C-alpha cells in the first residue's frame, strides 16, 4: 500500500503512519533499526528497492530523504509518501521529498520519524558529504555508509574518507571486496605456509575496490604491492591478484563477470564463483553489524598511506 501526502509536515506523516497501523494492522514490532537514505530527487527507487530486499533479513524502518542536488529558489515544500505491506518488503518506507528551504534541515526532517531506542544507519547512495560523521545526518547515526564508486573521482573519495575517518564509517567499495578477501585468505591458510614476497593487483582505473584491495594486502601481508590500473572498459572493477612466494605464483583472475580462475603451484587450476555483488547484497552485509569496522578503518587510514608511499618509491626508483 502506498499513501501519498503532498505538501505536508513530518507531524502529519507520523499521524498518518499511526492511522495506517491502526486501520490496516501494519505494525512496527520487530523493527531492529532505522535506515536513513539520503539521496537526490528522482534517484530514490533503486535505493528503496535494495532496502526492501535487505529488509527481509533486517526488518527496519526506512526513511528516504531526497532533495535537489543544488538548492534552488523554488517554494519550500515537503511531499511525503508512506509505503507498507507488499510495497515495502519487510520494512515500512517513508519517503520525504524536500523542496526549497524545506530541505535545509535534514536532521530536523528525520528526527521525529526515527524508531525509538533503535540504532540509526545512514546511507548515501550517491555522492556523500566530505566528512560523513560531521554531517547533519551522520551525527545521529551509529553507522554511516558511503559509496566511493559514485563519486566523480572514486579513489580521491576513498583518500578523503581516510583523512576524515570516524568509527562507524564504511564504504561499499570495501563491502564489494568480501568475496575476494575471503578467497585470498583461504588460499594463504593452506600449505606451504610461506611468506608472500611481492603482490600485484590489477583493475580498472576508476575502481575504488581495486585500490582498497591493494591497500588491505599491503597492510596485512607487509609486502610490496604493484597496483596496475587500466582504462575503464566493459570489464571494470578488480581484474586479478598475483602473489609471489618462494614456491611460485598464486594467481586469482576474474576471467568472466562472475567467474575467477585460481592458479597455484603444483595444483590444478580451479574456476571459482566470484560474482559482482549487488546493491542489495552490500547493504544487507553492512546492516549485519552495527559496531565500527576497525579493519576498514585501518585500511583507509594506514593501508592507503602505505600503498601511496610504495608507489612514490617505485616512481622515484624508476627515474
**294 in any annotated domain:** no
- Specify the residue for cell string 601481508: 221
User: pLDDT: is 301 or 27 the higher one?
Assistant: 301
Q: What distance lies between CA 242 and its chain's CA centroid?
A: 26
**296 in any annotated domain:** no
Which of these three, 117, 144, 171, is where a domain ends? 171
Q: What are the pLDDT digits (tens) for 181-196?
A: 999 999 999 999 999 9
Tell me: pLDDT of 71 over 60.
no
Same domain, 122 and 251: no
**283 in any annotated domain:** no
pLDDT of residue 21: 80
Please give the share of the chain, as a percent, with pLDDT higher than 70. 94
Structural domain harbouring 260: 178-273
Same domain, 158 and 109: yes
Same domain, 121 and 244: no
Same domain, 190 and 243: yes
Provide the number of structural domains found in the chain. Answer: 2
Same domain, 159 and 197: no
Same domain, 160 and 185: no
Q: How confident is the model at residue 86 (pLDDT cuts 50, 70, 90)?
A: confident
pLDDT of residue 79: 96
**303 in any annotated domain:** no
Q: How many CA atoms lie within 13 A of 136 on its CB side?
A: 12
This prediction has a pTM of 0.93
Q: How confident is the model at residue 51 (pLDDT cuts 50, 70, 90)?
A: very high
Same domain, 6 and 153: yes
**165 in any annotated domain:** yes
**68 in any annotated domain:** yes
Tell me: pLDDT of 319 over 50.
no
User: pLDDT: is 56 or 91 the higher one?
Assistant: 56
Tell me: pLDDT of 83 over 60.
yes
Tell me: pLDDT of 162 over 70.
yes
Whole-number Cα distances in Å, 269 to 73, 138, 240, 264: 62, 46, 15, 7
Same domain, 202 and 125: no
* Range with the poorest average pLDDT among 199-203, 232-236, 271-275, 279-283: 232-236
Amino acid at each position: 500500500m502506498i499513501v501519498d501526502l503532498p505538501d505536508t509536515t513530518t507531524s502529519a506523516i507520523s499521524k498518518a503512519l499511526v492511522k495506517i497501523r491502526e486501520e490496516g494492522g501494519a505494525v512496527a514490532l520487530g523493527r531492529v533499526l532505522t535506515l536513513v537514505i539520503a539521496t537526490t530527487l528522482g534517484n530514490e527507487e533503486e535505493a528503496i528497492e535494495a532496502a526492501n530486499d535487505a529488509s527481509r533479513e533486517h526488518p527496519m524502518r526506512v526513511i528516504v530523504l531526497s532533495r535537489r542536488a543544488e538548492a534552488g529558489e523554488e517554494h519550500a515544500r515537503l511531499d511525503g509518501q508512506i509505503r507498507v505491506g507488499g510495497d515495502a518488503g519487510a520494512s515500512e518506507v517513508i519517503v520525504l521529498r524536500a523542496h526549497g528551504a524545506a530541505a535545509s534541515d535534514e536532521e530536523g526532517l528525520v528526527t521525529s520519524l526515527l524508531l525509538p531506542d533503535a540504532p540509526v544507519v545512514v546511507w548515501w547512495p550517491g555522492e556523500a558529504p566530505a566528512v560523513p560523521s560531521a554531517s547533519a545526518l551522520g551525527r545521529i547515526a551509529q553507522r554511516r555508509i558511503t559509496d566511493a564508486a559514485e563519486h566523480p573521482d572514486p579513489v580521491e573519495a576513498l583518500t578523503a574518507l581516510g583523512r576524515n575517518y570516524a568509527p562507524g564509517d564504511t564504504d561499499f567499495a570495501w563491502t564489494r571486496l568480501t568475496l575476494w578477501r575471503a578467497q585470498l585468505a583461504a588460499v594463504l591458510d593452506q600449505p606451504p605456509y610461506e611468506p608472500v614476497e611481492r603482490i600485484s593487483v590489477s583493475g580498472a582505473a576508476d575502481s575504488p575496490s581495486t585500490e582498497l584491495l591493494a591497500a588491505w594486502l599491503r597492510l596485512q601481508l607487509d609486502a610490496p604491492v604493484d597496483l596496475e590500473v587500466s582504462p575503464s572498459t566493459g570489464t571494470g572493477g578488480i581484474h586479478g591478484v598475483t602473489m609471489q612466494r618462494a614456491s611460485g605464483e598464486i594467481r586469482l583472475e576474474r576471467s568472466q563477470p562472475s567467474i575467477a580462475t585460481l592458479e597455484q603451484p603444483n595444483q590444478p587450476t580451479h574456476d571459482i564463483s566470484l560474482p559482482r555483488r549487488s546493491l542489495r547484497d552490500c547493504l544487507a552485509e553492512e546492516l549485519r553489524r552495527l559496531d565500527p569496522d576497525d579493519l576498514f578503518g585501518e585500511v583507509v587510514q594506514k593501508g592507503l598511506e602505505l600503498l601511496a608511499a610504495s608507489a612514490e618509491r617505485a616512481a622515484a626508483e624508476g627515474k
